[in-house]
Amino acid sequence: MQINTNKKNTIIVAHRGASYAAPENTIPSFELAFKEDADFIEGDFWLTKDNEIVCIHDSNTKRVSNEKIKVQSSTLSELKKLDVGIWKGDQYKGTTIPTIQEVFNIIPKNKGIYIEIKDDRKIFVEKLREIINQSKIQNEKIRIIAFNPNTVRLAKDILPEIKTYWLFEWYFSKKKCLKSLARRRLMQTLKTLNCDGIDVNAAPYIDEKLVKSLRENNLDFCAYDVDKVEDAIRLINLGIDSITTNSPLKMKEEIKKNNSRNIA
């Protein structure tokens, strides 16, 4: 399958940084992602007890540290005492949970970030607006993503200038649901969100009909969990705007090799 080189370049997003090698959602992981030439990084964010936005996937720290502390009930100082790197290797010993400001500070000028909102409270989005307004990152280099449709609506209302996507996991395929029915349900929800597009898990159901429906409604089309090069090639040929992967360098190299073989 040959890539249509007339299409615009697909953005490569590093899922929780270069999380295949470095501890997810940490500064080392994000720095490695940029070294591997990722266009954007993606991180998960919660609000602490003392109103600080921090980067961690789960609602508590058990999976990435040796202690179970609930993020929303803890202060930044308490969370900073945890080592969230050593589980990935001794070289990452002492790595701490970063604030969103710390993440912003290491983003190169021509790169960007996908901010996944895990904390669905209005106070989180209001704090995020404050931090974005104080940052030097251009609005076009920021994407907001969330699974909760209400959070998507809230984010778009409070931050209308930032592109906001609905995160969607295609579970219909596991229930033998007709693709046409699933597609209609997806589009019906999207039309109520006033968002800029969808970020959906890579799966065989993604086809030209779905993409056509999205484009007819002026919606961006993105996918996550893209770690197989054959999935990436298929999605790029459908004109996808971005793919999120755990291994940005590997993905870029494999896409480039595939394109070279087809051109030859």
Q: Which domain range does residue 24 map to?
A: 11-263
Q: Does some domain include residue 155?
A: yes
pLDDT in tens, 76-123: 999 999 999 999 999 999 999 999 999 999 999 999 999 999 999 999
What 235-238 contacts at long range (C-beta under 8 Å, 24+ apart), as own/partner pairs, is: 235/10, 235/202, 235/206, 236/3, 236/7, 236/10, 237/1, 237/2, 237/3, 237/4, 238/206, 238/207, 238/208, 238/211
The band of 263, judged by pLDDT with boundaries at 50, 70 and 90, is: low
Record the pTM.
0.93
- Mean pLDDT (the chain) is 91
pLDDT reported for residue 3: 39
Q: Does some domain include residue 2?
A: no
pLDDT reported for residue 171: 61
Q: Does some domain include residue 88?
A: yes
Please count the structural domains in the chain.
1
Q: Does some domain include residue 4?
A: no
Q: Does some domain include residue 1?
A: no
For residue 262, pLDDT over 80 is answered with no
5 by DSSP, 3-state: which? coil
Q: How far is Cα of residue 257 from the mean position of the Cα atoms in its chain?
A: 25
Residue (of 116, 195, 113) closest to 154 by Cα position: 195
pLDDT reported for residue 205: 72
Q: What does the pLDDT average to over 205-221?
A: 90
pLDDT reported for residue 255: 81
Q: What does the pLDDT average to over 165-187?
A: 72
Q: Does some domain include residue 178?
A: yes
Q: Is the dihedral of CA 150, 156, 159, 163 positive or negative?
A: positive
CATH of the domain at 139: 3.20.20.190
pLDDT in tens, 3-60: 343 356 899 999 999 999 999 999 999 999 999 999 999 999 999 999 999 999 999 9
